[in-house]
Structure formats: structure tokens, C-alpha cells
Amino acid sequence: MWKVKITIIKTFSPEDVFGHELFLPSTGQKINKCGLFNEGDEFIIESVMQQPEGFCGWAWRDIYKDLSVLFFGGDFAMGPGIQYTSCSDGKKPVCFKLERLDSEKVSS
């Protein structure tokens, strides 16, 4: 098992996705970019069983399968130890880079 670094690559607003603002139908409140992540934020994962503090629960579930593959030594088409993925929030998605830290094995 290996440590994995999660880097926030890009956060999108509804304007980026749709070309215009979006508002909640119930309140009229404007929907903005994800407020939990900033581009460049990094998280080091030492266990796929524990979501990092402050990490969005929905995003964690969205990237969990890719994160698990890297954590247990698997690879993807992007190259050894690297995967790009995103959360499934279609209004304000966040893109992640996952990198296995091959020099940092987790003790069993």
C-alpha cells in the first residue's frame, strides 16, 4: 500500500460550465464555485478508509475508486501512479490529480 497525494487542479463555477449564472429555485440564491477546495490544495492519503478532514464527502466517494487503485499499486492509462478525475457535481465540478507517492509506502 502506498501514500497518494490529491491535488486540486481546477474548480469550476456554473458560469464556466454553462456560460451563465445559476440560482437555487427554492431561494433564488446564486450558486458559486465549491467553497471547500482551492486550486493547489493538497491532501496526502495514508488510508483509503479515512476521508481527510475538510474533504467534501461527495467528492471523496466520487474519487474513491481511482484513489483505491493507486493506493494498492495499480495504474491507469495516464501513466504509472497518476490519474486525473473529478467530482460529479455538474453545476460546479472540481478536478483532481491523484499521484501515488512510490517512495512512501504505508506500513501495514
Q: What is the pTM of this model?
A: 0.91
pLDDT averaged per 10 residues in sequence order, the chain, 108 residues? 96 97 96 96 94 94 97 93 96 97 77
**Range of the structural domain that residue 47 is part of:** 2-105
pLDDT reported for residue 108: 59
- Torsion angle (degrees, nearest 10) of CA 81, 66, 59, 96: 30
How wide is the angle at C-alpha 81 spanned by C-alphas 73 and 66, nearest 5°?
A: 75
pLDDT reported for residue 14: 97
Counting the structural domains of the chain, the total is: 1
pLDDT reported for residue 106: 77
